[in-house]
Amino acid sequence: MLTWSTHLLTEYFTAVNAAEDEETAIASAVERATEMVEAETGAVVREGRVLGAYGFGGTVPEAGLLAVAAGESLLDVPQVGELHAVANPLGGENADALIVCRDGEAFGAEERQMLQGMAQVLGLALRSIRVLAAERHLRAEKERQATTAQTRQRLVESLLTIQRAISARRPLPEILDAVTGGAAELLHGDATVALLLAEGGPDRRLSVASTCGRTEGGPVHEAAARAAMTGGSALISTDGVGTVIAAPVRVTGEMAGSLVAQLPGDADQYAEQRDHLDAFAQQVSLALTDARTVEAVREAHHDPVTGLPNRALFLKILNRVLASRGTETDPTSVLFIDLDRFKAVNDSLGHEAGDQLLALVARRLRSCVRASDTTARLGGDEFAALLHDSPVEAATVVGGRIVASIKEPFRVAGREVFIGASVGIATSREPVERSEALLDNADVAMYRAKKEGPGRVLVYEPYMHTEALDHLSLRGDLQRALREGEFRVQYQPLIRLADGAPTGVEALIRWHSPTRGFVSPVDFIPIAEEFGLIVDIGQWVLETSAAQVARWRRHFPDLGLNVNVSGHQLVHPRFADNVMRALAIAGLPSSAVTLELTESVLMSEPDLGKAALHVLRGLGVQLSIDDFGTGYSSLAYLRELPVDELKIDRAFIARAELTGEDLALVRTIVELAQILGLRTVAEGIENAAQLTALRRLGCAYGQGYHLYRPADPGDLPARLAARLVEDPVG
Amino acid sequence: MQTNPHRWFGAGQSSAADAAKAGAEAAAEAIGGRSAKAVFVFCSVAYDLPELLAAVRAEAGPHASIVGGTTMGELGNAGMTVGGLAVAALGGDGFTVHVRAAAIDPHEPRAAGAQVAEALRGLHDPNRVLILFCDGMSGRPNEIVRGAYSTIGAAWPMVGGFAADDRHFERTFQFCDDEVRTGSVVGLALGSDGPIGIGMAHGWRRTEPPMVVTKSQGPHVYLLDGEPALDVLLRRNNFDGTADEFFERGRALQPLGLSRRNGEDIRVIHGGDDEERSVWGAADVPQGALVWLMEADRQALLDGATWSCTEAIAGLDGLAPLGVLAFDCGGRRAGLVEGGMQEEIDTMRTALNDAPFAGFYTTGEIARVDGGSGLHHLTLVTLALA
């Protein structure tokens, strides 16, 4: 139907997406929407706040607008009267909405529908702007910090004085005097400062623990101190003499008292000082907490579940042992113990049972070593033992004892539980040895032991280290794979949902390594990118698939090719040349090729690749955004880049039965694509219900196991031909 | 001389070639010896403008606010002039007048609109209206009007016009008290204890079929329904020739109506490019918009004038109009050639029951009573006071 409303959406869309900040986008959206439905007023409610209010003149009826966002359909506007109001959700998680209000005629169904569309467009634009703004904000924050650096420097110096008093175990009164002295210095000259601390007992009486600059008999300001403690933040007030600032002080999280400053003159000049005193009091709280919690320090070094030393303490002890060795030949052994099947117990019986089991394991470990040896829990299901004066043979015996001991059943949560342990051993013989290195070596040995099967004890050998750096060796394997032709390409058809006709194929790389077996692209592509091999691998995929599709086109003349492109390829200076060369050699027209880029690549390399993409687009190659909707979904790049296609990420249609929310999201993307004149391809269609829903939403193309699985090139023509007859869609 | 009534309105005209003479004549006729609060001056750029304003000031006295601008023709009870002057004046205790002016920042044109609209603040009269006189060459008239609306909101109406420079389309001037400005917006906030009525009508109608603007940028239209825009206009008008020939041979304007909820938002197309096959006008024609070519015959345009005046008077709660300010689109003249202009004036005189009126031919008209948009084209906007 040719109506006035649908044609306004394009105008609106262009206007809203030209905005570079939230304020402009909101103002533009509100004004256009208001004008387009000939409403008098409009606004956006976002995160509970009214923004971009338009047409209200000086007084914005905020409460009324919030009520409209919550569902009210009339808005009373001062001097104008009662208007028909409609709130249109912006999408996203909050009850954010674009509101327009009109005198006289209520909004019709068609107008509401258009407004919904407008609100969704605004929502998308705002979300993408916010992502960009977050990056900019980080920079601005750094600059702001620099301007307050001087104040911070003074604050730091005062706190250092207090810390020195605490760490030097000065008497408490001296520490408290450092606190009040530091505060007075921070506030400059004329301030007198008192620290009031609550005493024990039911009435928590406040008493002055320290003062600075105060003459005897001055006012105590107990009321101000109590008010700050009750409110939990710094307060400023005036008394007969001048201004009083009180900031609460906490010790181990509990309200312990107040730091109270008396300054001359009116309160309104001291807003900054109030903030400083508050910040100082917070820092003092931390310092006092530290001083008073020697006991807590011990807890911080021990694992609460097992009572064993934690990793940090274990390393300290190990350091001390290594440093205090009498001779170079005194061997020190470290055992790294990893439990087998612990995760299964934890998952099936619950965390509480898991913790019980860990405590029991700790007890058995202790029984396997001498009283003078140290055992520790490193984290998760990893333990360690430190055996001093223990040669490797003795350590191996202890390791075997541990494995045997852990193999015995445990009784947890009223049942027998069977687990196991793998042990790696590293022994120090070097005159200088780092504790971390020794523990790492034991870890490497344990990893190797675990690979050989459960219940093993292995002693560290240098070759194991090389093996542990497996992912480094992947680099060589990948180079070899490329050289020796271990990669191959599978093809998954893209289907036109209207009639089920295959319109193209996506090339998918596969690697079957002779040594590693099948390796998933998820595992090797990041490493190929890390070592810069992706450019060659990507080029190989493009050349191979282009040649293949060119051959298929003799029988399927309209078949297109989708190829994934990595960000590293995109920024390669010869990327466009490489692509065109591959197509020329294969004899595949550029118009048959669509390059797929992920959103994250486009966001991380917004400018570098743009020129190449425009060159390629100019030569007829098409561009697709892969996984659309999972990243930033920035409308900015859709506007700036020559995009032809959006691939809706499988996450949006992952549920077997799509919910209303899923459908709304997909619909938004499809409508967005229609506005921009782009194709939409739904990925991951796995059942007939999803297929039907996507067709109904107007999604033009699809891909997924329900339609076609990825196939080897030899199998594909037959499948394409067969499905053409069957029509999987209809 | 005359007594000073509670509210009064007068109008005068002159086509004297000398600025001082014209200013003195028209102002004397409009003011008639009364103590004016506001004087509206509409004149051709051909005059020595400072001299003309000085002459008006001499008649108006030191306390009157003087506002207005240069035109594409002036109109009043005596008829239409080109290269002449029309003046309106009002006064009396029943009116309050506040004036503000602001320069248009080309990067932020709405700020000027927002600033001058502040003139309304501090008025406490039961009826209020903002009257705007804007530079017509700023390029973004919509933004100026939106700026003004953002300040005053829906509570009070606004009217006004964009200044012109005869037909040069180079530089227009605005008047604010004794100052001749360019690139400015001048706003006069008028408060009255009597009713205020506003009318607007154009009299154009759609010619089917509609078309989609498939490519445009700002006021330039490149493609309509995928076909070069100039080709479409030539074909639809059965015209064989160049763009210049087309737009100069009595087809000086081609109104395009943008599809809107309550009818059409009209854009005037007044030029074309033979190379690009594009056409252009004075305001944005958004890509994606649905548009109609608009047509009008003389009678329809005259009916539009009647309707505008009638609507304005209908807002006066049954009182007779004291007088009327008129903002008439320069483009309407093209549809009213060969005596049509005088017919329009006669029509207005009749519709206004011979109440005094003065106004000018603009490059864009402003009227906002309902809804949020206030910019119009090819429209006659009338402000009636009682």
Asked if the C-beta of B150 comes within 8 angstroms of chain A's C-beta atoms, the answer is: yes
In whole angstroms, what is the distance from residue A359 CA to residue A361 CA? 5
Asked if the C-beta of A172 comes within 8 angstroms of chain B's C-beta atoms, the answer is: no
Determine, for residues A10 and B146 on separate chains, whether the beta-carbon distance falls below 8 Å.
no
- Overall size of chain B counted in residues: 386
Asked if the C-beta of B337 comes within 8 angstroms of chain A's C-beta atoms, the answer is: no
Contacts of A37 in chain B (CB under 8 A): 261
For residues A78-82, average pLDDT = 87
The owner of tokens 């031919």 is B361
Q: Is residue A716 a contact partner of residue A723, using CB atoms and an 8 Å limit?
A: no
pLDDT in the model for residue A283: 62
pLDDT in the model for residue A11: 60
In whole angstroms, what is the distance from residue A716 CA to residue A714 CA? 6
Strand partners, A375: A385
Q: How confident is the model at residue A2 (pLDDT cuts 50, 70, 90)?
A: very low
Q: Which tokens go with A535?
A: 């450019």
| Residue A588: DSSP 8-state | -
pLDDT in the model for residue A727: 43
Helix axes A4-17, A22-36, angle to 10 degrees: 160
pLDDT in the model for residue A545: 96
Q: How big is chain B by its Cα radius of gyration, in Å? A: 20
Q: How do the residues of chain A divide into helix, strand and coil, expressed in percent and rounded to 5?
A: 50, 25, 30
Inform me whether the pLDDT recorded for A66 exceeds 80.
yes
More confident residue, A563 or A616: A563
* A230-270 per-position pLDDT tens digit: 887 788 888 877 889 999 887 755 678 899 998 888 888 78
Q: Please determine, for the modelled complex, whether the ipTM score is greater than 0.90.
A: no
Asked if the C-beta of B357 comes within 8 angstroms of chain A's C-beta atoms, the answer is: no
Q: How far is A137 from chain B (nearest CA, A)?
A: 25
Q: Which range has the worst mean pLDDT, A232-241, B24-33, B207-216?
A: B207-216
Q: Is residue A392 a contact partner of residue A333, using CB atoms and an 8 Å limit?
A: yes
Q: How far is A70 from chain B (nearest CA, A)?
A: 23
Contacts of A56 in chain B (CB under 8 A): 153-154
Asked if the C-beta of A31 comes within 8 angstroms of chain B's C-beta atoms, the answer is: yes
Amino acid in position A35? E
Q: Which range has the worst mean pLDDT, A32-41, A432-441, A681-690, B258-267?
A: B258-267
The owner of tokens 């090389």 is A466
Determine, for residues B372 and A31 on separate chains, whether the beta-carbon distance falls below 8 Å.
yes
Inform me whether the pLDDT recorded for A700 exceeds 90.
yes
Task: Reduce the DSSP state of residue A444 to 3 states and report it.
Answer: helix
| Residue A268: DSSP 8-state | G
Contacts of B156 in chain A (CB under 8 A): 57, 79
Determine, for residues B372 and A5 on separate chains, whether the beta-carbon distance falls below 8 Å.
no
Q: How confident is the model at residue B20 (pLDDT cuts 50, 70, 90)?
A: very high
Q: Which tokens go with A661?
A: 């929310």
Asked if the C-beta of A33 comes within 8 angstroms of chain B's C-beta atoms, the answer is: no
Determine, for residues A57 and B154 on separate chains, whether the beta-carbon distance falls below 8 Å.
yes
Residue A39 has its nearest CB partner, among B146, B259, B372, at B372
Q: How far is B31 from chain A (nearest CA, A)?
A: 34
Q: Which tokens go with A527?
A: 């490493």
Asked if the C-beta of A343 comes within 8 angstroms of chain B's C-beta atoms, the answer is: no
Edge-first strand listing for the sheet containing A420-428:
A374-379, A382-387, A332-340, A420-428, A457-459
Contacts of A77 in chain B (CB under 8 A): 154-155
pLDDT in the model for residue B167: 79
Inform me whether the pLDDT recorded for B302 exceeds 50.
yes
Contacts of A54 in chain B (CB under 8 A): 149-150, 372
- CA of B331: how far to CAs of A137, A342, A575, B144, B334, in Å? 50, 86, 55, 21, 6
* A262-313 per-position pLDDT tens digit: 888 888 878 777 877 876 776 666 566 655 443 344 445 678 788 788 887 7
Q: Which range has the worst mean pLDDT, A138-147, A170-179, B308-317?
A: A138-147
* A329-366 per-position pLDDT tens digit: 678 899 999 998 887 777 778 888 899 999 999 999 98
In whole angstroms, what is the distance from residue B73 CA to residue B329 CA? 10
For residues A719-729, average pLDDT = 58
Give the strand pairing for A420-428 and A41-46: unpaired
pLDDT in the model for residue A297: 40
Inform me whether the pLDDT recorded for A5 exceeds 90.
no
* A513-570 per-position pLDDT tens digit: 888 888 888 878 877 887 778 889 999 999 999 999 999 999 888 999 999 998 888 8
Inform me whether the pLDDT recorded for A218 exceeds 50.
yes
Concatenating the DSSP letter of every residue in A490-505 gives: EEEEEEETTT--EEEE
pLDDT in the model for residue A155: 62
In whole angstroms, what is the distance from residue A155 CA to residue A179 CA? 11
Q: How confident is the model at residue A728 (pLDDT cuts 50, 70, 90)?
A: very low
Beta carbons within 8 Å of A512's beta carbon, 6+ residues apart: A486, A488, A518, A519
In whole angstroms, what is the distance from residue B285 CA to residue B294 CA? 14
- Overall size of chain A counted in residues: 730
- Residue B209's closest chain A neighbor by CA? A2
Edge-first strand listing for the sheet containing B79-81:
B79-81, B74-76, B357-362, B323-329, B380-385, B196-201
In whole angstroms, what is the distance from residue B163 CA to residue A202 CA? 81
Q: How far is B247 from chain A (nearest CA, A)?
A: 28
pLDDT in the model for residue A451: 76
Inform me whether the pLDDT recorded for A605 exceeds 60.
no
Count other Cβ atoms within 10 Å, centred on residue A620: 13
Q: Of B53, B21, B25, nearest to B39 (Cα)?
A: B53
pLDDT in the model for residue A467: 64
Residue A7 has its nearest CB partner, among B121, B259, B373, at B259
Determine, for residues A56 and B287 on separate chains, whether the beta-carbon distance falls below 8 Å.
no
Domains of chain A: 4-145 (3.30.450.40), 156-211+221-295 (3.30.450.40), 308-468 (3.30.70.270), 483-713 (3.20.20.450)
In whole angstroms, what is the distance from residue B384 CA to residue B386 CA? 7
Task: Reduce the DSSP state of residue A196 to 3 states and report it.
Answer: strand
More confident residue, A433 or B193: B193
What's the mean per-residue pLDDT of chain A?
Answer: 81
| Alpha helix segments (H runs only) across chain B | 19-31, 49-60, 109-117, 141-152, 229-236, 243-248, 298-314, 332-335, 340-351
Domain ranges of chain B: 8-201+301-385, 209-295
Give the strand pairing for A332-340 and A254-264: unpaired
Q: Is residue B98 a contact partner of residue B189, using CB atoms and an 8 Å limit?
A: yes
Q: Which range has the worst mean pLDDT, A199-213, A492-506, A697-711?
A: A199-213
C-alpha angle A625-A626-A632 in degrees, rounded to nearest 5: 75
For residues B256-272, average pLDDT = 78
Alpha carbon A683 to its chain centroid, in Å, reads: 24
pLDDT in the model for residue A37: 85
For residues A496-521, average pLDDT = 90
Q: Is A425 left (phi over 0), alpha (psi -120 to 50) or beta?
A: beta
Cis geometry, peptide bond prior to residue B219 (ω within 30 degrees of 0): no
For B161, counting Cβ atoms within 10 Å of its Cβ (0-12 exposed, 13-18 middle, 19+ buried), the class is: buried
In whole angstroms, what is the distance from residue A76 CA to residue A61 CA? 8
Determine, for residues A104 and B370 on separate chains, whether the beta-carbon distance falls below 8 Å.
yes
More confident residue, B177 or A272: B177
Q: How far is A613 from chain B (nearest CA, A)?
A: 23
